Chain A
Amino acid sequence: MMNSIKKPLRKLLLVLPMLLMLFPAAAQPPMDAEWKAVWETLDDMPVQSGGIVRSYRTFCHYTLAAITDESSYKGADAVAAITWFLSDGERFQSLDLMPVGHPEIGKLFKKKLISYVEYYEKYEELDQMVNTSNEESLRISFNRLRSRANAFYGLPEMLNIIPQDSGWLSPYEITAQHEARHVEITERWSALLDAVAANDASAALEAAVKLKQSVTDVAGPDAIQKIGLDAAYTRFQPFKKAALFYILAAVAYAAGLIVSIRKRNEVLPWVGLGLMLVGLVIQSSGIGMRWIISGRAPLSDMYETMIFGIAGLVLAAAIIEVLTRMRFLGLICSVLGFLFVVVAHKHPIFDSQIDTLMPALQSFWLTYHVVTVMLSYSCFLLSALFAGIYLLGFAKNKLEVNEQVESFKSLMIPSLATLDTLQYRLVAVGFPLLTLGIILGAVWGERAWGRPWGFDPKETWSAITWMVYAAYLHVRFMRGWRGALAAAVCLFGFACVLFTWFGVNALLPSIHSYA
């Protein structure tokens, strides 16, 4: 075998191990079985962060993401990475962790990942570069880099593991004059970091057990009752798992449709539906976990409403598919479910962390208002899908409503008439829900701000959406519009939904900008 390898390559294969011995492997957090026990022990240690008592795992997960944009570091999970970082401050400052984000910033540093030391050394230069540039994307990247640096720099002070009545303290704030139990936690934290630095797993495990015991003892049972669930939620990442099932479902659906071109296949679409429902169950359980952990309906920001809306969409799609056997719907909705979850976790405007509620949102109206509005949005999204498919078929064949597009048959898409009816029925469900959602929002607005309607951009656009769908229903009832015209109005209505949901937040600042 070796003889078949060309001579220079053979030489390289012999030299390579020697070269590797000259350059020791890059330092990284230990992740063998012994160390895993240490990190798992720390998983559900309480930390106060952002006004909420969370698990150490959640704290590490979001802190690592804030610094590196990743949920792991060199194969080590967030708990291992963050603890290892803190065990050696000097090394931590020199690690290339922060993505620069913008090519211009990359040019300045001559790389895409930089360390805090590099950031600090070139801060003035970077600041000047951004101030002399008119490029908005550069400014945004700079601000994001600054946020990463702040998360990096603030990490020791954010590690609030020392419970007290008001804000918890970080071990880095404790002096000998503090209470003995606080000093004890600090000493145990130091012991843990020393053991990590010395790569002594058994000492680290002992320190971790003692540390967690001290913290939980001081915190008391009330503060830590949801910590286990919080750690499990962060570890399990239910929405990402659901997205995985959605994409698997999409593959099964697609395979079923491809196979059905030659001979009708019902097995693969049923597999697709099953996978999509498993994804929905996981997503619903994630919403439930989030609800229990936060103690409120998880509907307070764009991330949470998006996740809820996806669940509504998939549920409605599954019901319609079971009733109509319209397999193409399952394919589209499982792809959409996957894409929306990915966007919700990747786009910077979405924050997946459970946050505290501002006083204006602390109301039971939040649940009723947002649930009704999001369910209506799910109906409108599906109706827009049907309208879109209808228009595709119509544009392709210029057919009448009652005709069947031949090429649709193989994709198990029903006739244009059924598409038209389904689209209308979904609007007929979504419209009363939207009306109710707007009314509930008005009642809530009156309770919170003293006026039911204020012509805030979000309110105005919700009224616009309502008027467009009202017009849609009336042109169907009164003018008998069906087919392509009705589908076009339906699509326009959904464009208004999208603008109300996302566009207003991005383009028109208002008191609803968090929603």
Chain B
Amino acid sequence: MSGRDKIKRIRFWHQAPWSWLFSLKTGLVLLAFMVIVSGVTTFRFSGNVPQELGYADSAEAAVAEVFGTWWFVTLLAFLALNLTLSTIRMVYERILHRPLPELHSNVSFYEGRQPTANVACERDVSDVAARFEQAGYTVRCEGAAGVVWKGRAGLWGAVISHLGLVMVILGGMLAAVVMEAGYLTLFEGDTVDSIKKQDSEEEIPLGFDVKCEDFFMDYYPGTGSVSLYRTELYLPGLELSERLQAVEVNKPLTVNGWTMYQSSYQALPGFRRFVVEGLDREFEIAPGQRRHFIDDDKLTTVTLGNRFPYGWWIERDGTETESGMLFDPQKTWRIRVDQYEPDLYLNEAGQVASRSREPNNPGAVVTFLEGMQPVERRILYMDHEMAFKMNQVQMNRPESLPLMASLLDVKNGNELVLEVYKMEDPPDNPDDAKIVMAAGQTEVVGVASDEDIPDGAIRFKDFGVFHVTHLRVARNPVLPAIYLGCALMMLGLLWSFAVPRVTIWFWRDEKNGRLRVAARYRYARETFDRRTRKTIESLTDASNNATAEESE
């Protein structure tokens, strides 16, 4: 009776009902079931189905309907339990109490294996065993037969990788319970101290304030493809040097255990935001907003008033040092040609586009600006007059200033001849109201005052778009454990696959003086490995034997 049989008789895990719980066969059945369920789920919740069921995407639907349900989680827990128990059994039976390899002293065993050798050998079995021992093998030798082996430690690799997988599964399940996650929706200038859970109104307090100082985005030149977007945050609760931090895609920010990830953003073109120069930098600021900068360990705050002409003031370490106006209230009126299309139409997305390069329906998209502040955007068609009554749009001035604008002609393919004048003051000579412009150009069209923008520490440069940024915020204390599980899995796999495992049997047939050798490798082989081959050769070659003995 072999040692393994003895274990089977005395251990409870070989008897029902425990045997299936301790068996990796159960794990394999579970894996097969999960493969089918997972595959079917991806097809079931694809296309429009998630939206029809009220989910944002297929992943959310799959989690809500399958992967996050009690029965799937139970299956996962059962898989983890099965892996743990079968690994314990493996450690007990195959590592700690593994019976020694059996000896074989019959011809049929050696002839039925591959690789195998049958060589003339005058040495006795103990000499053969000594040669293998020198080669690093563990030896068992009785009578005319012997067995040597190495690489059993490789089994620990399987143990470690299985336990790593258990850690990952349990870590994932635990994370679903203990992880706190939600979203921050921050307008530029907003400050919050809590996050909203996804799909719920419930708020989770962060324990510190987060202010969106700025949202910055950049495009690949000449395209509409975003190359970068970044949320700049001001965290007043932190040390001065750590208060200004940024979050980008792939560059999350961790504060007090909470990690913030850049998720998405929106542009809000209806809101005003200014690009200004000053304090040795260029930055954006919205009406009524405060921007913070830290220079030489000193806090500098810029505040902008919330009504035209937007007063500003600068505080350094809490003391106001400078102030001024961003705009001259009597600034000029301007027109800017944003876009010219020779054969204008509105495409499926409602955007202005051109059907061809032929001037079948010339049109231009123009923006009227008060000072440098855009107040109205319209499309001008050839020979169609368009009146702008400025008091009908959002204005910060009481009086009305109606303008008349029309596109008269297009020269040289892209030079637009516009006519723009104040309705209350039409020009005597129509040519005085004509302007020739190309797309991208801005021209003064009505003059209230031509004074320059007053000098000061803060100067207006351009208009920016107001943004709202969406950050995912999460606190997952289990994450290190999951990563440790992953690392263990990899370590176990590498250990398991890298450690060579081999068992070699030999038997000296006293009747004919021949040595029979057979081997079993981890990877099936048709021939012996080089070292074993040399060892066998050294046993059969008299000169080599002598050399070997001398060296000993």
What 0/1 readout, one digit per residue, does chain A (172-190) give for beta carbons within 8 Å of chain B?
Answer: 1101010000000000000
Residues in B whose Cβ lies below 8 Å from that of A482? 524
State the CA gap A436–B487 with chains docked (Å): 9
Given A432-B494, A456-B58, A471-B32, answer yes or no on A358-B222 (Cβ-Cβ < 8 Å): no
Residue of B nearest to A415 (CB): B526
Given A51-B227, A432-B490, A448-B249, are A177 and B62 neighbors across the interface (CB < 8 Å)? no
A402 interfacial by beta-carbon distance below 8 Å: yes
Which of B24, B25, B222 neighbours the largest number of chain A CB atoms within 10 Å of its CB?
B222
Would B524 and A356 count as touching, CB distance under 8 A? no
Q: Give the distance in Å from the alpha carbon of A482 to the alpha carbon of B479 in the complex.
A: 39
Bound: A422/B80 CA distance, A: 31
CB of A221, distance to nearest CB on chain B (Å):
17
Contact with A along B325-352 (1 / 0, CB 8 A): 0000000000000000000000000000
Residues on A with C-beta less than 8 A from B525 are 421
Residue of chain B at shortest CB distance from A149: B356
B357 on the interface (CB 8 Å rule)? yes
**Does A362 count as interface, using CB distance less than 8 angstroms?**
yes
Q: Which of A447, A463, A508 contacts B43 (CB 8 A)?
A: A508
The residue in chain B whose Cβ has the minimal distance to the Cβ of A431 is B493
Q: How far is the CA of A417 from the CA of B472 in the complex (A)?
A: 53
Q: Which residues of B contact A447 (CB under 8 A)?
A: 250-252, 261
- Residues of A near B356 (CB, < 8 A) are 120, 153
CB of A457 within 8 A of CB of B490, answer no
B106 on interface, CB distance cutoff 8 Å: no
Majority SS at the chain B contact face? mixed
Determine if A508 and B225 form an interchain contact, defined as CB atoms under 8 angstroms apart.
no
Interchain nearest-CB distance for A348 vs B (Å): 20
Given contacts A167-B222, A450-B252, A454-B59, contact A468 B35 (CB under 8 A): yes
**CA distance in complex: A169, B375 (Å):** 28
Chain A residue numbers with a CB within 8 Å of B526 are 415, 417-418
Q: Give the interface size bracket for A toward B.
A: 35 or more
How many chain-B residues does the 8 Å CB contact rule pick out? 69
Binds B, one of A79-87, A238-246, A275-283, A438-446: A438-446
> Is A166 among interface residues, defined by CB-CB distance under 8 A?
yes
CA distance A177 to B25 in the complex (A): 79
**Given A424-B524, A456-B59: A359 and B221 interface contact (C-beta under 8 Å):** no
Partner of A508, one of B42, B252, B439, B493: B42
Q: Is A467 an interface residue (CB 8 A)?
A: yes
B228 within 8 A of A: yes
A439 with B261: CB separation less than 8 A? no
A23 at the interface (CB under 8 A from B): no
Q: Which of B31, B38, B486 contacts A470 (CB 8 A)?
A: B31
Contacts of B225 in A (CB 8 A): 50-51, 356, 358
Complex formed: what's the CA distance from A172 to B41 in Å?
Answer: 53
A362 near B249: Cβ-Cβ < 8 Å: yes
Since A456-B58, A471-B32 are in contact, a sample of 17 more A-B pairs with Cβ atoms closer than 8 Å, ordered by chain A residue number, is A173-B438, A359-B227, A359-B248, A421-B523, A443-B483, A447-B250, A448-B249, A449-B261, A450-B263, A455-B59, A457-B59, A460-B38, A464-B35, A474-B27, A508-B43, A511-B57, A511-B59
Mind listing 27 A-B residue pairs with CB under 8 Å? A48-B222, A156-B357, A166-B221, A359-B248, A360-B250, A365-B250, A428-B523, A432-B494, A432-B497, A435-B493, A447-B251, A448-B261, A450-B261, A450-B474, A452-B482, A455-B62, A455-B67, A457-B46, A457-B58, A460-B62, A464-B35, A464-B39, A467-B35, A468-B35, A477-B158, A508-B46, A509-B46
- Give A contacts to B, CB under 8 Å: 48-52, 120, 153, 156, 160, 166-168, 172-173, 175, 177, 356-360, 362-363, 365, 402, 415, 417-418, 420-421, 424-425, 428-429, 431-432, 435-436, 439, 442-444, 446-457, 459-461, 463-464, 467-468, 470-471, 474-475, 477-479, 482, 504, 507-511
